[in-house]
Amino acid sequence: MGTFSLVQKSGVVAVGLRRRLVSGKPARTFLGCVVLFLAFLGLSEASYLFVFPPASNAVFWLPSGLTMAWFLRTTKAHWPAWLLVVFLAEVLVVLQHGQPPALAMAWGAAGGLLPFTGASLLRRRTRAGFVFRRPWDVARLVWLGAAVGAIPGTLVAAAASVVWLGDPSFWHVAIGWWSSDALGVLLLCPLFLTWTEPAPPRSGRAVEALSLLVILTGGAWWVFGSVRPREIESALPALLFPLTAWAAIRFGPRGATAATVLVDFMAALHTSRGRGPFAMGSTSVAARVLTVQTYVSVLNGLVLLLAMVVVEEQKARAAAERAEQRMKFLAMASEILSESLDFTTRFAALARLCVQSMADWCVIDVVGEGGVVQRLGGAHREPGSEALLRQLEEQYAPDATSPHPAAEVLRTGKPMLLPLLTDELLQAHAVDAEHARLIRALGTCSAMAVPLSVRGQTLGVLSLGCAAPGRHYSPADLELATELARRAAISIDNARLYRDAQGAIRLRDEILSIASHELNTPMTSLKLDVQTLKRVAAPSGEPLPPSLTRVERQIQKLARLIEELLDVTRITTGRMHLQIEDVDLPALVRDVTERFTEDFSRAACSLTLHAEPSLVGRWDHLRLEQVVTNLISNGIKFGSGRPIEIWVGQADGAARLTVRDHGIGIPPDRLPYIFERFERAVSSRAYAGLGLGLYIVRSIVEALGGSIRVESTVGSGTMFTVDLPPAGPPHAAGKEGER
């Protein structure tokens, strides 16, 4: 086993011990008391290694680092027990050193005050305990835990020294106590905190960790262990900064705390024995102590800060990478979902995409017609295991009552996350033992099922399973699966809406076709009857009775509407045939405008017609009449009381007809739609019509090989421009056909 994995292992042990201690059982609390007591005694003995003779107290009081970390890591309910243990341990240590019992009691109380004050300040606003992961946490630990937290205990201990030991200077003692307590916290507390914090597993760094350990130990020994002064002696301690920074950058907070503790111990140990730059540079013991303490505080503070910054940066990078992968995955899923309208193909591809990245198997169940659940996609990372998926589908398809997670999600519409699929959970969600066996055979250690929901409806379920024993689905995975399921649900919904819309359009066209044919027959005989009535009412050309004129006009209107409907049916069914012949466009336009004379005067519209004498092309006479009639009647309808201008001539090698009015105009947002079926830019209450005229006009013009465009300004008027190739439609055959 490499050094680094040993180091990792000890971290795991520390985390496990901590978990056991905070879990709250009396036996464990007792175990905690014993461990704390023994560790306290051990560390207090170790602290005496760092005494600078002739001074008698240690430069760092190591138990303070231990007790602070202990109080920060455990629940407050245990604090009374820990306080008692710290008190007893401290009393024992003091008595062992031959001090009076009253002093031992006072110092015992001071020993408990330090972690109590520091931990209370640090945990003030956090219910979950003190977290030691961000740069800000280092600053808080230094300031609140070490600097402020050490004050009350220090004052008590210094007062006791003055009273029972007769120390002449209260402040001198207090400052000595305070600095060694605070440094004890700064030194050991981060070490305990980082090594009891779960850390991401890393491997493959054993050689690097071992090299660093050797270099750092050798380096620190070389820097601090020299007995003869070297020329640059005072600059040498700075050489250890990059080495500890290396530990922080490469091995995070755990590496940083381990490296700093090693350097701190070396510095204090050698200096106290009169070796190295700090001993040689400073003459008095007090100055040596202060130099070591300053060095240790600066080194620890900076290296810890660096480690936390590195952690933050790694976290941010990992989050960005995860987000990018997530985006890529969702983009690929969207592409698959938009590729075809066929669910089976789409969902099979989607399931395959899932098993390439986020799952070992994936199935997609969709509720079909009549509430029957159909499996539309199923894939396994190992193609050989897909037979198992098929067997599961055949034998245990989720239905309304089964305990299957997919069935439960269908019932509740809520996602289900099973991070660790234990045997009990598996039994609870399996129909029978065989079902459970098949699910295990798929290799399921963790699973999740998310609803395909859209517009408050659950259309199906996406189920994912993962087989790697160490990999468990997390809430973040569930979130990704939910987003994927949402997109899949939208695609199902869109496809269904599209299918329904197509059906509705087909039905509408059928009804229109039947209705227009059925209406046309009575309309033809009605027209004949009106002609007969006219002859009877005015046999020798006398003026017609007004009622009969009205009837005739209404019948013409009705006939036009029916004709429009019939034309639309012909266009949509491809039955609009053209009769191509030589047509003189100016003559045709003049004919049509003459027929409108009465309408122009009724609508108070003046007409200006500019037409070339003759412009002949291969077109369909009656259909062209229809085009001109539609454009002029729209001009009259929407430009009532204003002039209308018509121009017929040649432009760009084509025959051009423009019809311009000065009426209400068309709003720009409606312009792109007015040539579509049933599209209108006005309300039907204000202007009668079906919204079919321009659709028919465009269809005729395009069938003749030409084009039509519109320019319009609201309030100023509209101009339609029709361009027709004189040679007629590209494949003009001049066939007779249904009109």
Inter-CA distances, 54 with 47, 171, 272, Å = 16, 19, 10
| Per-residue contact flags (x/-) with ligand ADP for residues 311 to 340, judged by CB under 6 A | ------------------------------
Place of tokens 């947002």: 669
Q: How far apart are CA 107 and CA 113, in angstroms?
A: 10
> Which residue stretch of 74-82, 228-236, 504-512, 657-665 sits at the interface with ligand ADP (rule: CB under 6 A)?
657-665
Please say which residue, 397 or 682, places its beta carbon nearer to ligand ADP: 682
Identity of the residue, 419 or 691, whose beta carbon is nearer to ligand ADP in the bound complex = 691
Of 246 and 638, CB closest to ligand ADP: 638
Site for ligand ADP in 105-164 (CB under 6 A): none
Minimum Å gap between C-beta 688 and ligand ADP is 7
Half-sphere exposure of 69 (CA within 13 A, CB side): 26
Task: Give 414 or 602: the residue with its C-beta nearer to ligand ADP.
Answer: 602
Cβ proximity to ligand ADP: between 158 and 664 the closer is 664
Question: Nearest Cα to 725, choosing from 651, 675, 633, 630?
Answer: 651
How far apart are alpha carbons 371 and 380 in whole angstroms? Answer: 26
Hey, is 362 helix, strand or coil?
strand
Residue number, 65 or 635, with CB nearest to ligand ADP:
635
Give the residue with the Cβ less far from ligand ADP, 37 or 673.
Answer: 673
Could you tell me the two tokens for 368? 């079909």
Which one of 85, 655, 694, 701 is in contact with ligand ADP (CB under 6 A)?
694
Give least dist CB 592 to ligand ADP, A. Answer: 16
Q: Which stretch binds ligand ADP (CB under 6 A): 6-14, 70-78, 108-116, 678-686?
A: 678-686
Q: Which is nearer to ligand ADP, 363 or 566 (CB)?
A: 566
Q: Is 692 in the site for ligand ADP (CB under 6 A)?
A: yes
Nearer to ligand ADP, 61 or 695 (CB): 695
Count of CB atoms situated within 10 Å of the CB of 673 = 15
Q: Is residue 365 within the footprint of ligand ADP (CB under 6 A)?
A: no
Task: Give how far Cα 167 sits from Cα of 104, 160, 356, Å.
Answer: 15, 9, 74
Confirm if 659 and 644 have CB atoms less than 8 A apart: yes
Half-sphere exposure of residue 249: CA atoms within 13 angstroms, side-chain side: 8
3-state SS, residue 575: coil
User: How many residues line the site for ligand ADP (CB under 6 A)?
Assistant: 20
* Tokens (6 digits) for 550: 């009205």
653: left (phi over 0), alpha (psi -120 to 50) or beta: left
CB of 709 to ligand ADP, least distance (A): 13
- 643 is a site residue for ligand ADP (CB under 6 A): no
Residue 132 or 695: which CB sits closer to ligand ADP?
Answer: 695
In three-state secondary structure terms, 650 is strand
Amino acid at 656: R
Stretch that binds ligand ADP, among 252-260, 433-441, 454-462, 677-685 (CB under 6 A): 677-685
User: From the list 108, 112, 115, 693, which residue makes contact with ligand ADP (rule: CB under 6 A)?
Assistant: 693
Neighbours of 133 (CB within 10 A): 15
Assess contact for 275 and 225: CB atoms under 8 A: yes
Q: Residue 205 has which token pair?
A: 């760094």
Query: Which listed residue (663, 705, 728, 729) binds ligand ADP by CB under 6 A?
Result: 663
With contacts defined by CB under 6 A, name the span among 132-140, 427-435, 601-609, 664-672 that binds ligand ADP: 664-672
Question: What is the CB neighbour count within 10 angstroms for residue 312?
Answer: 14
Site for ligand ADP in 699-738 (CB under 6 A): 718
Q: Which stretch binds ligand ADP (CB under 6 A): 103-111, 546-554, 583-591, 685-693?
A: 685-693
Q: How many helices (H) and strands (E) does the chain have?
A: 23, 12
User: Measured from the CB of residue 371, what is the shortest distance to ligand ADP in angstroms?
Assistant: 44
Least gap, CB of 667 to ligand ADP (angstroms): 9
Report d(CA 165, CA 299) in Å as an integer: 35
DSSP string, 197-246: S------S-HHHHHHHHHHHHHHHHHHH--SS--TTGGGGGGGHHHHHHH
Residue with tokens 């336009």: 589
CB nearer to ligand ADP: give 423 or 669: 669
Cite the DSSP H helix spans in 573-650. 585-595, 597-602, 621-638
Of all residues in this chain, which one has the CB nearest to ligand ADP in the complex?
A: 689
- Give CA torsion, residues 4, 10, 11, 12, to 10 deg: 110
Rounded CA-CA distance 9/359 in Å is 30
Q: Which is nearer to ligand ADP, 178 or 695 (CB)?
A: 695
Which tokens is 324 given?
Answer: 């990018």
For the chain, the straight-line distance linking the first and the last C-alpha, in angstroms and rounded, comes to: 92
Query: What is the smallest separation between the CB atom of 485 and ligand ADP, expressed in angstroms?
Result: 43
Q: Is the Cβ of residue 408 or residue 509 nearer to ligand ADP in the bound state? A: 509
Beta carbon of residue 618, minimum distance to ligand ADP (angstroms, whole number): 26
Our CB check for ligand ADP shows the closer of 479 and 702 to be 702
Q: Which two tokens stand for residue 273?
A: 């024995």
Residue closer to ligand ADP by CB (options 296, 666) is 666
Q: Does the protein bind ligand ADP through residue 680 (CB under 6 A)? A: yes
- Is 571 a residue that touches ligand ADP (CB under 6 A)? no
Residues 613-642 within binding reach of ligand ADP (CB under 6 A): 634-635, 638
Candidate list 690, 707, 726, 739; residue touching ligand ADP; CB under 6 A: 690
The least CB distance from residue 504 to ligand ADP, in Å, is 21
Contact characters 205-234, ligand ADP, x per CB under 6 A: ------------------------------
- Which of 661, 701, 704, 725 binds ligand ADP (CB under 6 A)? It is 661
Q: Which is nearer to ligand ADP, 450 or 666 (CB)?
A: 666
If one asks whether residue 174 binds ligand ADP (CB under 6 A), the answer comes out as no
Which of residues 664, 708, 724, 732 is near ligand ADP by CB under 6 A? Answer: 664
Distance of closest approach, residue 720 Cβ to ligand ADP, in angstroms: 7
568 Rama sector, left if φ>0, alpha if ψ -120 to 50, beta otherwise: alpha
Q: Between 346 and 677, name the residue whose CB sits nearer to ligand ADP.
A: 677
Minimum distance between the CB of residue 573 and ligand ADP, rounded to whole angstroms?
19
DSSP state of 383: G
Contact 391, 415 (CB under 8 A): no
Q: Which two tokens stand for residue 620?
A: 């369909």
Question: Minimum distance between the CB of residue 594 and ligand ADP, rounded to whole angstroms?
Answer: 20
- Residue 642 Cβ vs ligand ADP, minimum distance, rounded to whole Å: 11
Least separation in angstroms between CB 620 and ligand ADP: 20
666 binds ligand ADP per the rule CB under 6 A: yes
Closest to ligand ADP by CB, 44 vs 718, is: 718
CA–chain centroid gap for 633, Å, is 55
What DSSP element (H or E) covers 709? Answer: strand 707-713
Q: How many CB atoms lie within 10 A of CB 237?
A: 21
Q: Name beta bridge partners: 718.
A: 661, 712
Token pair for 480 = 């990704």
Q: Please tell me the distance from the alpha carbon of residue 338 to that of residue 333, in angstroms, as a whole number.
A: 9
Give dist(CA 588, CA 596) in Å, integer.
Answer: 13
Q: Which residue among 689, 703, 707, 721 contacts ligand ADP (CB under 6 A)?
A: 689
Residue 333 CB, shortest distance to ligand ADP, in Å, is: 41
* Residues at the interface with ligand ADP (CB under 6 A): 634-635, 638, 661, 663-666, 674, 680-682, 689-695, 718
